[in-house]
Structure formats: C-alpha cells, structure tokens
Amino acid sequence: MSDTRPIPDARGYFVTDDGRVLSTNLSGRGDGGRTGPLRELRSWCDHAGYHVVRIVYESRKRGRNRMVHQLVAEAFHGPRPPGAETRHLDGCRTNNTASNLAWGTRHENMADRRRLGESAAGARNGMAKLTQASVALIRTLLARGHTQQAIGQRFGLAQTAVSKIKRGDRWRQH
C-alpha cells in the first residue's frame, strides 16, 4: 500500500509516494465542491517529457497545470528551498516516486545528468562538429608533433579549438 499525503496548497488533492495524484473533488472545482472517494487524476507529458496534472485551487476559477514531480517532492520532502530544483536521481523524468526525487541545486542536477551520461556534451551536443573517435585522432596527432594549425585545417576547426581540445577545455578525457 502506498503512502498518501495532501498537496500542501491544494485542498482536496493528494499525492502518493509512487507518483500518483488523487482528488476528492468530484465536481472538478477546487473549492471543495462535492467530496467523495479518491480518484486518480489523468496526467500527460509536457514538451520536455515531465508528467503534468491540472489542479483547481480554491482561490482561482480556472485550474493550473502542475508538474507531478514537484507536487510529490513538496508533499514528501517539504517545501522547495530557495533556488532549489527537483532532481530525478535516476535521470528518468517520468519516475515520480518519492524515493527517486530530491531537492537540489542546478549544479547538483547537472552533475546527475553528467553522471548518468545524459548531458549534451561531446558528440551528443547537436552543434558538435566532431565525434569521440575524431577527438581521439586529434590527440594522437598532437602527441606525434603535428601542429594545431595543420590539425585544424584537416578537421575544419580553428586552431583555437584544437588548442582547447589539447588543454582539456573541450572534449575532456574521463
């Protein structure tokens, strides 16, 4: 059986520790309306792949879209600290279980993405001109004494780009 907690600022709405959003408001109004048994709200994915539900607050006539992971984090981990983001510890945007969520900084969230191999770094960057194999070849050519200018011409890069690869400012080795 999952743990169910109220959503702090939405009377009649609840979240479970497995990421479901429930409501007792059968009328669809957040003003209390008729109350009844808990029913699960239907969620959908937004453009970024996060689950969203519509919550109707008592103070508003129309509802407001809320991200499920934020609702679960608020209910199970307390209010959002200033400047914090919700982190999905396993990197899966649709896994909204309380145990998979944590408050953290933007830096921690980006570190999670790098750790899980989900950052748009290197060849995964849509603007990348090089592949991991071509960077390895550039490093080999540098070690053999080829000039940065000659390597840049061969790969269609500026000499400064080759210099940054050599220093590790771009395409860092792990």
pLDDT tops 70 at residue 124: no
In-domain check, residue 173: no
Whole-number average pLDDT of the chain: 84
Residues 107 and 130 in one domain: no
Question: Is 172 inside a domain boundary?
Answer: no
pLDDT at 75 over 80: yes
Q: What does 12-44 look like in DSSP terms, one character per residue?
A: TEEEETTS-EEEEETTS-TT--SEEEEEEPP-E
Q: Please state, in angstroms and rounded to a whole number, the distance separating the CA atoms of residues 101 and 75.
A: 11
Q: What is the pLDDT of residues 30-46, one digit of tens each?
A: 444 546 788 999 999 99
pLDDT bucket at 8, cuts 50 / 70 / 90: confident
Range 159-172 average pLDDT: 84
Cβ burial of 9 (10 Å; 0-12, 13-18, 19+) is middle
Q: What tokens does 117 get?
A: 């191999």
Does residue 34 lie within any of the structural domains? yes
Number of H helices, E strands in the chain: 5, 9
Residue with tokens 């709200």: 41
133 and 163 in a single domain? The answer is yes
How much is the average pLDDT of 105-120?
78
Last residue of a domain, one of 96, 115, 134: 115
Q: Domain check: are 21 and 63 in the same one?
A: yes
Q: Which of 115, 136, 159 is the last residue of a domain?
A: 115
In the prediction, which pLDDT does 31 show?
A: 46
Q: Which of 115, 131, 149 is the last residue of a domain?
A: 115
CA 166 to CA 172: how far, in whole Å? 9
Comparing 24 with 33, the larger pLDDT belongs to: 24
Range of the domain at 131: 122-167
For the beta carbon of residue 62, count every other beta carbon within 10 angstroms: 8
Q: Strand order in 21-25's β-sheet?
A: 4-6, 13-16, 21-25, 35-40
Q: Are residues 110 and 156 in the same domain?
A: no
In this prediction, residue 81 has a pLDDT band, given cuts at 50, 70 and 90, of very high
Proportion of the chain in helix, strand, coil states, percent, rounded to 5: 30, 20, 45
- Do the Cβ atoms of 14 and 21 come closer than 8 Å? yes
Overall number of domains in the chain: 2
pLDDT of residue 1: 61
Q: Is residue 59 domain-shared with residue 136, that is, in the same domain?
A: no
